[in-house]
Structure 1
Amino acid sequence: MPQSLSEPLKQFIEHLSSERRQALQTCRNYERDTLRLAHYLHQQQVVHWSELDLGRLRRYVGELSRAGLGGRSIARHLSSIRRLYDYLLREKQVRDNPALDVRAPKSAKRLPGVADVDQINHLLNAESDDLLEVRDHAMFELMYSSGLRLSELVGLDRSAIDMSAGEVRVLGKGGKERILPVGRQALKALQDWLNQRGNLAAEGQPAMFVSQRGDRISTRSVQVRLRRWGIAKGADQRLYPHLLRHSFASHLLESSGDLRAVQELLGHADIATTQIYTHLDFQHLAKVYDQSHPRARRRPGQKTEDDR
């Protein structure tokens, strides 16, 4: 690689480290991204940063996409390149910033994971005398019963749950409060936990769910405990808190078809956020169709036109 490419790059990283006081890992990320571009330019027989124009940069973005990088990764690369060219402009080594008008391709929306109803029932049909398992069972039942976010669960105080009314009051994103119904099985699990909570909770502790130390349980502890719960119960997929929330939303929409109600229960400000579950619902219907419709099913050993 010619010095006319490598030396400005070295100076840019030093600028980030010494003048901008960027963290070491941040500097390494910028160096990795911009060095990849430098090697590409060298392969294209470009010897100076000022020779990178809009067309060349768009072709480079195409190379990144063909190499398997997703939209988010390409966006990060472009951000690094913009930052580099801001520096080169300041140093009067280039006349413009070609990355200003280039956008990364949109990443395909990843559908949230969902556990099927039978698996949820298997995971939650648990009986145990162990104090921590009684607590865990109550937490997981409540998350699935009411579609709570992890932050909402750990933030719950004992006073937020009305056992007689079968309701829980949660504080969601943006400090918005909503009142949610709690199902019969979750109420039973919560009562089992409340009967033993005093053996673990520190005196005066308001949190509904507490750790072994008696203070409010952490989000990390809930994640670890749910993953272990899934392994112990033989779950066929990795369990994480948001999976229970996604499953709550998908199963409710599948049964009711009421998108607005699901939006309210989830606490989504925009119904477009909730509409992701309509795709999940369609996937389920399509799977049922493929498995059940006599003209859709493929008999064992039957070849399709593509197989012939």
Structure 2
Amino acid sequence: MTFAKAQEYFLDHCQFEKNLSAKTLEFYAIDLRQFQSFLKNYKSDSQIGKIDKYVLKDYLKYIAHFKPKTVKRKLATLKAFFNFLEFEDIIMVNPFRKLRVKIKEPRRLPNLMSTHEVQKIFKAAYTAKEATTSDGDYLTKLRDIAVLELLFATGIRVSELCDLKDKNINLQNGVITINGKGSKERLIQVCNPGVLRILCEYRRYFEEQIEQSGYFFINRLDRRLSDQSIRRLIRGYTQLAAIDKNITPHTFRHTFATLLLEEDVDIKYIQHFLGHSSIATTQIYTHVNSAKQQQILSTKHPRNGFEFGSCSDSQ
């Protein structure tokens, strides 16, 4: 069987049998196309059964210039692909069985905002809305604020926010149904009156367009708002707030989780809010900033209760 035919079978399996998300299917297709391109340049036989561990080792060198996270994703795609082919008896042996690869990712703390920076961005957005001189500009700013408020209120992923349907949001009860990774559904309550008020105002002004498209957040063409549009609007308000920091939709998510932890919210609740299948993923947020460290150590450390060695003893 040719690689192209095997790829077609695999993607059909992922879409119709495993019901994977459109985003996952897109990445699978990109990664497999790249591997197919490599095979052509490598002058390897296009027959899928001819691919062995030595071909994979050369491919690993070929993609070594990518970030470790990207390399891991591309290899994971190929592993899933060859696992499927072996299970379906299209190939006799999965070439990954004879290959041991360990890729280390540098552990980096998430990019965060302070509460002061969050306040500056919201102030810039609300001030810009009140300063508008046209109805169209006012509606754009209203939608932007609704996006920012929901990002910070729920810690939602940008892809989840873009995919929110009108039917997923109950503004009367303040309950949002989020379809997360792996088609896992979770409910999050929006409790802040200010957030609910801006969402209701946005929904009221855009009611006709929202009902027509089915999506809650829409662009000027009355279509689903894209990830790129949200990144651009955040970048714009970051600059307007005079914050010299790379702030993305994921920064709002990281900040949401970290600030809740600093308020002593149980990590299991945060795991649910973020839609993590494993608490190990959530534990990246268990770092604390220097101000919080100082507060904890100055008030909670048992040494503070020792009577000897105090300032009064030395006088």
Q: TM-score, normalised by structure 1?
A: 0.61
Residue among 230, 233, 241 paired with 2:241: 233
Tell me what 1:176 maps to. Answer: 184
User: Does 1:285 pair with 2:292?
Assistant: yes
8 Å CA contact 2:166–2:211 kept in 1: the answer is no
Residue among 115, 118, 121 paired with 2:119: 121
Tell me what 2:143 maps to. Answer: 135
* Residues 224-268 of structure 1: CA deviation (Å, up to 9, x unaligned): 221122112222312211111111111111102411111111111
8 Å CA contact 1:71–1:104 kept in 2: the answer is no
Count of matched residue pairs? 225
User: Does 1:15 pair with 2:24?
Assistant: no
Tell me what 1:186 maps to. Answer: 195
Letter in 1 for 2:272: E
**DSSP 3-state at the match of 1:156:** coil
Residue among 210, 225, 242 paired with 2:218: 210
Structure 2: give runs of 5+ residues left out of the alignment.
1-38, 49-54, 77-94, 133-137, 300-315
Letter in 1 for 2:151: M
Tell me what 1:162 maps to. Answer: 170
Letter in 1 for 2:176: V
**DSSP 3-state at the match of 1:214:** coil
8 Å CA contact 1:75–1:104 kept in 2: the answer is no
Letter in 2 for 1:121: Q
**DSSP 3-state at the match of 2:110:** coil
> Aligned in 2, Cα 1:198/1:174: closer, same or farther, shift over 3 Å?
same
In angstroms, what is the RMSD of aligned CA positions? Answer: 4.0
Identity %: 27
- Rg: which structure is higher? 1
Instruction: Determine the C-alpha separation between the residues in 1 that align with 2:103 and 2:298.
Output: 35
User: Does 1:221 pair with 2:229?
Assistant: yes
> Aligned in 2, Cα 1:213/1:263: closer, same or farther, shift over 3 Å?
same
User: Does 1:111 pair with 2:109?
Assistant: yes
* Residues 33-74 of structure 1: CA deviation (Å, up to 9, x unaligned): 47xxxxxxxxxxxxxxxxxxxxxxxxxxxxx9xxx9986699
Structure 1: give runs of 5+ residues left out of the alignment.
1-10, 22-26, 35-63, 80-96, 293-308
Residue among 136, 142, 147 paired with 2:155: 147
Instruction: Determine the C-alpha separation between the residues in 1 that align with 2:211 and 2:269.
Output: 39
